[in-house]
Structure 1
């Protein structure tokens, strides 16, 4: 059996897989294989370990007759045509849960960094423009007593809410439907409609998974519906928020600040309007980037592949593949 891994990961995590299959690893750590290379490698593979940068579409799946499992090393999986995979009997897995706490920490970093204008403060020191303490320079905003809005109250959203409560923030959220589990009730989080979420949030955090119908769901009109002086944080998937509209709202002062860890196009293009916007904190998609979390993600992705190749159900199939995974 053959497995192709689309990005270089430490060998220690691949050892369990090498006992069951011939493993080929794309040699680059930060550059994905070109689509034609991925297609060629998939043709003879029983398994793929992929990242969000690799598009596993219907055409690729049709050219890979031996393929049994696609293990996405991420909590998201919109890069995989799951419906097409299920039709062909290919199990799709992902790596939820293990990155929840690290990602929630990063979201709070974005909230704090945006609220306290950290990007500008760092530049002031690094560029030797700091002339000493001044009582009304570089002022940020308090979080205590403010309302945090969460669009996408899943595992990560609940972890963010727990952290925000310790800062004295009130929590509102919007999902497709309210969550009735004790976790959310204990947080005192209140379910609101999407328009209410926009209107009530002093800080709005976008954590909803990407879907094509959500592209630019937060655009100029939605930003105008937000409070003047609100903060917008984007930490789930790029494309849900219209980045040009955010840049414009920052330039006019309607938004106090914004923070991004994900973008519609990655890496962020040199001509992105966000690069020229004031009071915006830009990070390079590092939500899960801790040693412990990335190791746990790699182990889980590899274990999922090993289990499918051995005819066992994987630990974490994507929900759409749950029935199929149970028959592995």
Structure 2
């Protein structure tokens, strides 16, 4: 928390990279690493979506932590015996401590763990998805989309910067504000940016160019949580997403695109925010709503043109072991 009550995210990440040339000591090597995520977390959800769109499931296996955590770390309570079957650990904290004993920064997801050593390689979530596109390319599926095409990178980066500041992190700045002024500032910046995005998307199906890019992935993971969590829990309540016509149609278009909605677990999302943030929600009551069936409603965005996957193809069906449980998303109700 900054002076005056403004929320400040701890951004001291482990910035080691896994690269094609291995210049940081960790070369791209299929099967060597394990991507640890929680479906509850918007930053981890980016990695889940990009991994699926690019077809990296076999090259970069995934561990799914439960939706809640305590002050120590995320746990593998979804797995038999409460241990990840590959890493053999109960808490993600163990992989961080293997890298740096007594690690004192945030134990966050997504994190990529080096399986042979059991040590975290990186938790630098913005770079993780960029490297999936740029460094893991030899292991992309046939027909994988270009989510970070070189010619569009300056524009993608510019959009990502303002979306992160005002929207992705903006909802947290509102929700965790420690003063009325800091809340009001975050609230204003959030909705000003959402209005700007609505204008940008009114005549364009996607944020940059006529195909899905990294920019759409990053905005989607906030929008998909908006009505379920941020509108009420974080007091981002000028309007619901479902009351902002352009953004609501845009979000539904992406949700219904293979690789997006089929990774979303609304049950985990709601349980995480409403159970973990007891300073905001001391009763721990998880809301029953909102109605999720509207996510499957008509969006009419195809009339704007564009090709979701460019010259590529949609990803295939989700592997059974990675499917979102029935009832946790309208796609499996």
User: Same fold by TM-score, threshold 0.5 exceeded?
Assistant: no
- Higher Rg of the two aligned structures: 1
**Higher RCO structure, 1 or 2 (CA under 8 Å, sep 6+):** 2
TM-score, normalised relative to structure 1: 0.29
Query: Quick check: which one's strand share is greater?
Result: 1
TM-score, normalised relative to structure 2: 0.28
